């Protein structure tokens, strides 16, 4: 399952509400997951992020809503990564931590930093087809961090930005130019920020090696716990419509049943909850792809179509038909 941290989803909900969006409609998109907004260890399906962004775009008529959201974020919204980044020596060190810890925030992509003569190329590669909102959010938030956290307001100007998305509307294009303030290539082969190598050496305002080491001591635990959950989701996906047991999962992962339970418990998860979350995610994806309720219930291992209807209403507080109408506004 591709997921994103509670901190990002909660920040997105607050951001949309500040833009005047209807709270009830936002809540309808999250369904029963709404109660997890205050659980810092909770993870949300990427489709929740996509749905909220798509809804905000349609209501506000802002293709660039990801840029605005990213610019509103603070490093603290990135969880452990944000705290480590703030006390790093320079931007290069902060990026090293980002490459290692980014999957504790979202596991749908990875960061790549490549040197090209006197320039560097910072890219984000998604593992699945997603809309442009997340790339916009990431790039604008990274740029905002660099501008506000570098010592003596160092020059962190970009040389060029490449985006795989097509050219936006004239109104949104103006915002892209304002945010990046450099040439932008749309419909590019990758999503990349290109800048001078010297920027990597820009010192941050509050380096603290001692605190950095203390925070990094938590990294291995955080990363390993997320890895187990990701492996479990892959296993669940290969088993559906059969519903696997925890014992079968522990055998597949070559780990003791109690150890696996402990790792899940550390994330306020259970195996049954993980299965439920994955069925929720897949049901939404299949519905948006045009599959019927009967087809979805068969693919996800529900005993009958009415069982899927009940589960969907528990997840999203509405029926599949009404949910689809809300999403396609």
Greatest mean pLDDT range, 16-25, 66-75, 235-244: 66-75
How, if at all, do strands 119-126 and 3-5 pair? unpaired
Q: Are 76 and 82 in contact (CB under 8 A)?
A: yes
Go through the chain and tell me how many residues it has: 329
The confidence score (pLDDT) of residue 182 equals 97
Answer yes or no: is pLDDT of 216 > 90. Answer: no
Query: Please, what is the end-to-end C-alpha distance for the chain in angstroms?
Result: 26
Q: What is the 3-state secondary structure (H, E, C) of the chain?
A: CCEEEHHHHHHHHHHHHHCCCCHHHHHHHHHHHHHHCCCCCCEEEHHHHHHHHHHHHHHHCCCCHHHHHHHHCCHHHHCHHHHHHHCCCEHHHHHHHHHHHHHHCECCEEEEEEEECCEEEEEEEECCCCCCHHHHHHHHHHHHHHHHHEHHHCCCCCCEEECCCCCCCHHHHHHHHHHHCCCEECCCCCCEEEEEHHHHHCEECCCCHHHHHHHHCCHHHHHHHHHHHHHHHHHHHHHCCCCCCHHHHHHHHCCCHHHHHHHHHHCCCCHHHHHHHHHHHHHHHHHHCCCCHHHHHHHCCCCCHHHHHHHHHHHHCCCHHHHHHHHCC
Least confident span in 80-84, 97-101, 226-230: 226-230
Q: Are 180 and 142 in contact (CB under 8 A)?
A: no
Tell me the pLDDT band of 221, cut-offs 50, 70 and 90: low
CATH superfamily of domain region 219-327? Homeodomain-like (1.10.10.60)
The confidence score (pLDDT) of residue 142 equals 95
Which residue(s) pair with 115 in the sheet? Answer: 120
- The mean of the pLDDT values for the chain is 88
The model's pLDDT over 241-255, given as tens digits with 9 standing for 90+, comes to: 999 999 999 888 778
The confidence score (pLDDT) of residue 116 equals 83
Token code pair at residue 185: 């290539």
Domain boundaries, the chain: 3-216, 219-327
- If DSSP codes are grouped into helix, strand and coil, which group holds residue 184? strand
The confidence score (pLDDT) of residue 1 equals 63
Tell me the pLDDT band of 268, cut-offs 50, 70 and 90: low
The model's pLDDT over 58-80, given as tens digits with 9 standing for 90+, comes to: 999 999 999 999 999 988 888 88
Q: Identify the burial level of 265 via C-beta atoms within 10 angstroms of its C-beta, where 0-12 means exposed, 13-18 middle and 19 or more buried.
A: exposed
Residue, of 41 and 89, whose pLDDT is higher: 89
- If DSSP codes are grouped into helix, strand and coil, which group holds residue 313? helix
Q: What is the mean pLDDT of residues 115-139?
A: 92
Tell me the pLDDT band of 178, cut-offs 50, 70 and 90: very high
Which residue(s) pair with 120 in the sheet? Answer: 115, 195
Q: What is the mean pLDDT of residues 124-143?
A: 93
The confidence score (pLDDT) of residue 223 equals 62
Dist CA 94 CA 201 (whole Å)? 11
The confidence score (pLDDT) of residue 40 equals 77
User: Could you name the CATH architecture of 3-216?
Assistant: Alpha-Beta Complex (3.90)
Measured in whole angstroms, the distance separating CA 237 from the mean position of its chain's CA atoms is 20
pTM of the model: 0.71
Indicate the DSSP class of residue 122: E
Q: Which residues contact 70 (CB under 8 A, 6 or more apart)?
A: 136, 137, 138, 139, 140, 141, 142, 144
């Amino acid at each position: 399952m591709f997921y994103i941290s509670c901190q990002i989803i909660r920040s997105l909900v607050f951001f949309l509400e500040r833009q005047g969006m209807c709270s009830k409609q936002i809540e309808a998109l999250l369904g029963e997951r709404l109660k997890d907004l205050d659980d810092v260890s909770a993870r949300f399906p990427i489709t929740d992020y996509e749905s909220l962004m798509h809804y905000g775009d349609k209501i506000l008529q802002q293709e660039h809503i990801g840029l605005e959201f990213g610019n509103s974020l603070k490093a603290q919204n990135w969880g452990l990564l944000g705290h480590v980044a703030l006390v790093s020596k320079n931007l290069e060190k902060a990026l090293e931590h980002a490459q290692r810890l980014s999957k504790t925030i979202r596991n749908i992509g990875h960061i790549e930093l490549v040197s090209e003569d006197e320039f560097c190329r910072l890219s984000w590669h998604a593992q699945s087809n997603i809309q442009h909102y997340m790339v916009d959010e990431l790039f604008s938030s990274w740029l905002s961090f660099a501008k506000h956290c570098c010592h003596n307001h160092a020059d962190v100007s970009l040389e060029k930005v490449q985006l795989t998305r097509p050219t936006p509307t004239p109104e949104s294009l103006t915002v892209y130019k304002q945010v990046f303030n450099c040439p932008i290539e749309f419909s590019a082969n990758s999503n990349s920020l290109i800048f001078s190598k010297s920027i990597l050496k820009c010192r941050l305002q509050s380096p603290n090696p001692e605190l950095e080491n203390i925070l990094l001591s938590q990294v291995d635990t955080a990363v390993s716990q997320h890895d187990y959950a990701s492996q479990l989701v892959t296993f669940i996906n290969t088993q559906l419509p059969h519903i696997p047991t925890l014992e079968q999962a522990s055998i597949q992962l070559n780990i003791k049943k109690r150890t696996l339970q402990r790792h899940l418990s550390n994330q306020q998860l259970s195996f049954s909850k993980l299965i439920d979350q994955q069925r929720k995610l897949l049901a939404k994806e299949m519905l948006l792809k045009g599959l019927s309720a009967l087809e979805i219930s068969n693919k996800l291992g529900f005993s009958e179509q009415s069982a899927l209807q009940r589960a969907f209403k528990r997840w999203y507080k509405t029926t599949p038909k009404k949910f689809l109408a809300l999403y396609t506004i």
